Structure 1
């Protein structure tokens, strides 16, 4: 079920970045946006384990897995853009060192997630190893999640999003107003994302033994329907949006439970669950490459294909398939593997599997 959840999570990200889906299925797009990223962070938390690794090891290993490919892809593409005169060196350096959605080169906006996930993972590792007594009781765990949501919402409101401050949509140079739009590695989101991440971590055992409860399912459907019908509260972490603490949290919790129900059903069928698990294993590359492929697919096909539905469907399927193709190429070419894959990952599918659990997680987001 967790493997299926990883696959569904990354597919929802791709779907959410498809402008044709957003334009033509706005109510459904709004529904998915209410819980898409909270669900992704929740699933990340269910697979979070500290083990015997030191904080230094976690910092280095996660940087190798997540920050390295971001730097490689952005730096190489920025060299091309600079050669074409589209961006300046300052703009490139800002994106590489600040690494937020509003500073990265526009085709790589979606990559804000990986630097933030690294920061989140390192921070939670430090907290969980340094203050173990904080989570040794159920009531403490509930209090931690509630406090993170409350303080995180208040903290996020100190920053401006592009909807209220157009200058924060794209920042291309170092200036004083930069901090008003958000912190490096999207640290201004850290308390909110940590709430869903830790919720998943605290409920990992329950999640991995998940069974559908009819009353909870009905309640989650009722809450989600009411929130969508009566309120207009959106969640968009990249845009610094968590419109209403109560409504957004209710939507997120309800959506997470509904998604677990969906994943639980899918897990009963071998072929769909295996396919989704494969998407989950390649989720890092899907996350990295899907956005520019979506853009190019829509731009090219719209010129020749009159059906908006066909173009939109292709802009959902092709980014996933091409990203997985890039992943498999990188696993087979030593130089690309060195640049894009974690040092300890399995590079080629035909190679001997020494540690299957670690290998599968090394090329995926979130980690196991």
Structure 2
């Protein structure tokens, strides 16, 4: 079995830092330029990395069971526990809460970032099925590459079509699933976004060999950074999948790919950086757990600090650190408790993954 690719863990670590920062008050209070830069690539990065380590030759039953255990189990456990607490102490409507949880989009659940878990499950299962079918038809990477482009185009069209729908048509649905934003909540488990997410997963799969052997090239990094900055300066498109926003097809896609390349370049350097590299790799291996608990943690800390301090940026900075570190502390406690471990962490062994231990 091959050695685990540390640079991918570091890339996930950089990605989860961007996710936590992207949900911080500093970014979220005005949705300014930092928001547009971070959101232009940080979610495509995670889908891409999922594809880079996707092993489509794994037994489907084992693969399905592991993904249910790793993605759907914590989604339902955390939101069910939170819902029961809210029903007991705040008297919220139980029916709409749990219907919203089952619907599973960012507009229908209270812990918004958790929309990613059921959606990633759908996208990665779809990618596995498509890859298995394509490899039976014709082995090689041409068909997956072509399918990536087609899926991305279809996904963007579908997303833009749904984003433009009249929200008044969905008042009954919104009441049933507890969507107080009164917008179109998306299809269940954000199925309307699956073309985009699956396309980036397939792109990661197609680029697997390059990712595993990725080496930092200063001149390529400089060109990519200049192009990324130029696209944001002249066009400034962004992506917010939860809000059904995908800017200009070509510009948004180019920004996402360039952002992914820049993160891979940094991670390929940082794997030799000693303690910083190890710290980022640890964040990367814990990224799913941080994804689940970071938002509630940092906004709760920010609210507490705001009651005693008027320095909003300082409060938000401390909340950002808490959003990273407190979930890690909770993860350590969960690992030591068999009951919590069984509820929140995978119990099954991951199927053998290409290029990963």
Q: TM-score, normalised by structure 1?
A: 0.86
Conserved 8 A contact 2:131-2:144: no
Alignment check: 8 A CA contact 1:3 1:273 kept: no
| 1:97 pairs with one of 93, 97, 102 | 102
The yes-or-no answer on 1:295 pairing with 2:296 is no
Compute the displacement of 1:78 (Å).
0.7
Question: In the TM superposition, what whole-angstrom CA distance separates every residue of 1:62-87 from its partner, at most 9, and x where no partner exists?
Answer: 11111111111111111121123452
Name the residue aligned to 1:44. Answer: 50
Q: Secondary structure at the match of 1:320?
A: helix
The residue correspondences of 1:90-239 to structure 2 (distance < 5 A) are: 90-105=95-110, 108-133=111-136, 136-160=139-163, 165=167, 171-174=174-177, 180-239=184-243
Contact 1:152–1:190 (Cα < 8 Å) also in 2: yes
Which portions of structure 1, spanning 4 or more consecutive aligned residues, are displaced by more than 6 angstroms? 166-170
Contact 1:10 1:280 in 2 (8 A): yes
Cα gap change, 1:78 to 1:98, in 2 (>3 Å)? same
> Does the Cα contact within 8 Å between 2:124 and 2:201 map onto a contact in 1?
no
Report deviation, 1:4: 0.6
Distance 1:227 1:287 in 2: 28
Q: CA deviation at 1:17?
A: 0.6
Tell me which of the two structures has the higher relative contact order, counting C-alpha pairs closer than 8 angstroms and 6 or more residues apart. Answer: 2
1:11 alignment partner in structure 2: 17
1:87 is the counterpart of 2:92: yes
In angstroms, what is the RMSD of aligned CA positions?
A: 2.9
Structure 1: give runs of 5+ residues left out of the alignment.
Answer: 346-357, 362-366
User: 1:21·1:312 contact (CA, 8 Å) conserved in 2?
Assistant: no
Match of 1:320 among 324, 332, 335: 324
Distance 2:317 2:169 in 1: 33
Counterpart secondary structure, 2:163: coil
Distance 1:238 1:342 in 2: 26
Deviation at 1:167, TM superposition (A): 9.4
Q: Flag the 1:98–1:243 CA change in 2: closer, same or farther, 3 A.
A: same
State the match for 2:3 in structure 1.
Answer: none
Q: Which one of 46, 52, 60 corresponds to residue 65 of structure 2?
A: 60
Looking at structure 2, the residues matched to 196 and 104 of structure 1 have their Cα atoms a distance apart, in angstroms, of 25
Q: Aligned-pair distance for 1:233?
A: 1.8
Aligned length: 346
Cα distance 1:191–1:25, how it changes in 2: closer, same or farther (>3 A)?
Answer: closer
Q: 1:179 to 1:58 in 2, by over 3 A?
A: farther
Partner of 2:78: 73
Alpha-carbon offset, residue 241 of structure 1: 0.6
Q: TM-score, normalised by structure 2?
A: 0.88
* Post-superposition offset of 1:47: 1.2
Counterpart contact for 1:99–1:185, Cα < 8 Å: yes
1:110 Cα deviation after fit? 0.4
SS in 1 for 2:216: coil
- Report the secondary structure of 2:176's partner residue: coil
SS in 1 for 2:334: helix
5+ residue gaps, structure 2: 1-6
* CA apart distance, 1:171: 3.5
> Aligned in 2, Cα 1:120/1:135: closer, same or farther, shift over 3 Å?
farther
Deviation of 1:237 after TM superposition, in Å, equals 0.5
